[in-house]
Structure 1
Amino acid sequence: MAQVRTPGANGCDVYLTGTVFLDIIFTGLDSAPVRGTESWARGMGSSPGGIANMATALARLGLRTSLAAAFGDDMYGDYCRESLEHGEGIDLSHSHTVPGWHSPVTVSMAYEGERTMISHGHEAPPKSAATAYDPDAPECPPPADACVSSLVPGRPQEWVATAARRGSRIFADVGWDETERWDLASLAELPDCEAFLPNAVEAMRYTRTDCPRAAAHALSAYVPLAVVTMGSEGAYAVDSGTGETAAVPAIAVDALDTTGAGDVFVAGFVTGSLAGWPLADRLAFAGLTAALSVQEFGGSLSAPGWPEIAAWWRHAGAPAGTGKRYTFLDDLLASCTQSTPPRRAVPTLGFRPPAG
């Protein structure tokens, strides 16, 4: 990114907002839990989750990332804030701590290549509430080259339009439509988006199609760039401005935990977009970062950085026959050196210091 940033560029590359969860992940389950029985997991990890997945993935790829989120004033909130701000270097100047509000929690159980999640939490009071208002808070949303949003049917986010008017490039994904209406008109921010990145099921339901590629072409009538992720089948994209299409297969890996893989994919795609890469390279890079992430615990702390990408390229990329598709990494990784291993999800939030 240093090569494409211009003098006087915005203070951050990417801005995003959302809910931070404390994720507790169980892996090594042979099957789904059975009612009335006790299941033992062979692995366990804890890490910040929710919007922290995306923020961490962006930061580990070298993007100056700014996150606006509420944090509880409990131990979970302190852990998540410390991990993101000091561990990952994410700007939290737009975030706030809410006294008396407990952090949302998600328990994720990984088995048979998938995961089942149980979450609990309460919506945080707005930042303007008396318990959380900060009169010295910086302008929000801040000037940023790009913003990432998760669209919610029927719940417009005014900040997206504000950011788009100021020149930010908007990248968006979407979650499951709990209303089951699957109406594109309910996604109020879609006209402001440069790219829309739903998964195959979401894309087909919104477009009433029975093929992910057909869904991508249908969505391209609404956004300049439609990207549909297809799991083990890879990803497919349509650029409505140029008519260009791109398809990249997925990288086969043994998945430990798929939590946050979609967030990491979006982070990889945003990185390539801001760097000005060709569409197919952006898809390939996004798929690679997602594939590397599912081999570790958790959604946020499983995200790869450049040293992990370089290690894959040196030891697995070319021998696995994927070299031709990823030759664009050669120049990018030429100066990439080994660094301190990234923090990963661990079973506990921390040990007390030794007595004495």
Structure 2
Amino acid sequence: MGTSSAVADTLDPLADIRASGDPDFDVYLTGTVFLDIIFTGMDHAPIRGTENWARGMGLSPGGIANMATALARLGLRTTLATTFGADLYGDYCQETLAEHEGVDLTPTQRVAGWHSPVTVSMAYEGERTMVTHEHPAPPAPADCVLPRSRAGVASLEPGRAQDWIRNAAQQGSKIFADVGWDDSGRWDPAALLDLEHCHAFLPNATEAQHYTRTDSPEAAVRKLAELVPLAVVTKGPDGAVAVDAATGEYASVPGVAVEPLDPTGAGDVFVAGFMTGTLAGWPLADRLAFANLTAALSVEHFGGSLAAPGWTEVAAWWTAARARGGDLAKRYAFLNDLLPAELGGCPSTRPRAVPTIGFRDR
């Protein structure tokens, strides 16, 4: 499997550990791809009965495409099982992921008569409001074969077990899982039926504190470490905390300050950065720092998937941070041994969200 990203080809974060007999893929994902329409530059939240104007707009693949793109841009060999509608939106999402981002789409299906799901996201005051329209995707064929991979990404749902998670874990994949809002209000960890198969659990602070009945991210992450080998609690722009249950190691790393434009997909980018460091065997604090950095760089652009940084963007940030010195330069000194010096001066060629698709020459 190839990738269109010259940077990803140049920097393989797992190069030192690759060996014959390894799985074909580093990460397997499954989920729904949405077409995201993002409005930015709004002065305030939408007001009932009024027309609101946005100074910026972009379109990009969304949903599980956020995670798939973030992983691929960091050089991980990524395969995605999803469904594409047989419409122009589906064409655009499929082409973007396969041809521009190098995501393997062998496990996907394309269904006639089913239109692509769409999400409209409005970013303002550091927050976002979303409106989504979708019809449930047709089920995947029963004879689908689960690809072997080093790791898998899962979104846990209370009360629901997903067979692929158990099967992937039994094949040796490390499952990295997050979780959504519990509409039932019970917040019962026992209802997360697939948590026992997970290597890492990465909820945000609000979710973690609800599930653990604690009053701080720091207390929550220690409770979660009793349930999974690797517990991480994200704190948005304030960074993240983690506990490695096997070693007892605790790490807390602050976020990286940036001028945020659109937070869509930042959580996915964090997970992708943390997975990269984990699979590469980095120290826990470095993994958190790298995940914080990639998430921060992503919110400087709009459009969840196409906002994800690659190694060129990481190198450009590090070149500037190292020149300024101070605490950031000390915290991220591990990047010196990771990044080729020539990357710092390379211009980024990453596709970004655009205000329209399908321009035709007239």
CA–CA separation in structure 2 for the residues paired with 1:278 and 1:187:
28
* Of 231, 235, 255, the match for 1:226: 231
Residues 220, 283 of structure 1: alpha-carbon distance in 2 compared, 3 angstrom cutoff: same
2-side partners of 1:298 and 1:263: how far apart?
12
Q: TM-score when scaled to structure 1?
A: 0.95
Is this contact kept in 1: 2:321–2:329, CA < 8 A? Answer: no
Tell me which residue corresponds to 1:19: 32
Query: For residues 31-63 of structure 1, what are the alpha-carbon distances to aligned partners after superposition, in whole Å with 9 as ceiling and x for unaligned?
Result: 001001101000000000000000000000000
Corresponding residue number in structure 1 for 2:354? 346
* Counterpart in the other structure of 1:92: 105
Partner of 2:284: 279
Task: Supply the AA of the counterpart residue of 2:360.
Answer: R
Structure 2 distance, partners of 1:299, 1:242, is 34
Residue 336 of structure 1, CA deviation:
5.0
Task: Tell me if the contact between 1:239 and 1:245 (Cα under 8 Å) persists in the aligned partners.
Answer: yes
In the alignment, which residue of structure 1 is the partner of 2:3?
Answer: none
Match of 1:331 among 332, 337, 350: 337
Give, as a single letter, the amino acid of the residue that structure 1 aligns with 2:282. Answer: W
Partner AA of 2:198 in structure 1: C
Q: Which amino acid aligns with 1:126?
A: P
1:84-123, aligned counterparts within 5 Å? 84-123=97-136
In the other structure, the counterpart of 2:65 is 52
Aligned to 1:253: 258
Secondary structure of 1:254's match? coil
Instruction: Work out the CA distance in 2 between the residues paired with 1:174 and 1:236.
Output: 17
Within 1, Cα distance between the matches of 2:330 and 2:321?
13
Of the candidates 148, 167, 171, which is equivalent to residue 166 of structure 1?
A: 171
Is the contact between residue 146 and residue 170 of structure 1 (CA under 8 Å) also seen in structure 2? yes
1:334: Cα distance to partner? 2.1
Kindly indicate which of the two structures has a greater share of residues assigned to helix.
2
> Displacement of 1:335 after TM fit?
5.0
Alpha-carbon distance between aligned partners in 1 of 2:80 and 2:342, rounded to the nearest angstrom: 27
The answer on whether the counterparts of 1:307 and 1:336 sit within 8 Å (CA) in structure 2 is: no
Q: 1:182 aligns with which of 187, 202, 205?
A: 187
Alignment partner of 1:200 is 2:205: yes
Cα distance in 1 for partners of 2:322, 2:98 equals 32
What RMSD over aligned residues (CA atoms) do the two structures have, in Å? 1.2
Paired amino acid for 1:25: I
Query: Which of structure 1's runs of 4+ aligned residues deviate more than 6 A?
Result: none
Determine whether 1:78 maps to 2:88.
no
Structure 2 CA distance, aligned partners of 1:250 and 1:318? 19
What secondary structure sits across from 2:227 in the alignment?
coil
SS at match of 1:171: strand
Whether 1:242 and 2:247 are equivalent positions in the alignment is yes
Q: Structure 2-normalised TM-score?
A: 0.93
Check conservation: 2:30, 2:80, Cα contact below 8 A. Answer: yes
1:109 partner SS? strand
8 A Cα contact 2:237 2:296, kept in partner? no
Deviation for aligned residue 1:127: 1.8
Tell me the distance in 2 between the aligned counterparts of 1:197 and 1:99.
36
SS across alignment from 2:84: strand
Q: Distance in 2 between the 1:94 and 1:166 partners?
A: 17
Mapped partners of 2:325, 2:94: distance in 1:
39
Name which of 312, 316, 319 aligns with 2:317. Answer: 312
How far residue 347 of structure 1 moved from its aligned partner, in angstroms, is 0.3
Deviation, structure 1 residue 350: 2.6
Q: Secondary structure at the match of 2:155?
A: strand
How much does 1:8 deviate? Answer: 2.1
Deviation at 1:344, TM superposition (A): 0.1
Distance 1:178 1:320, change over 3 A: farther
Q: Letter of the aligned partner of 2:336 in structure 1?
A: D
Shift of 1:105: 0.5
Amino acid at match of 2:89: Y
Superimposed CA distance per residue, residues 206-229 of structure 1 (whole angstroms, 9 cap, x where no aligned partner)? 111111110001111100111000
Shift, 1:310, TM fit: 0.2
Identity of aligned residues (%): 65
**Counterpart amino acid of residue 11 in structure 1:** D
Unaligned runs of 5+ in 1: none
* Inter-partner Cα distance in structure 1 for 2:59 and 2:118: 10
Aligned-partner SS, 1:323: helix
* One-letter code aligned to 2:34: F
Report the count of equivalent residues. 346
Following superposition, the deviation at residue 316 of structure 1 comes to 3.3
Distance change (3 Å), C-alpha of 1:113 and 1:323 = same
**AA aligned opposite 1:30:** D
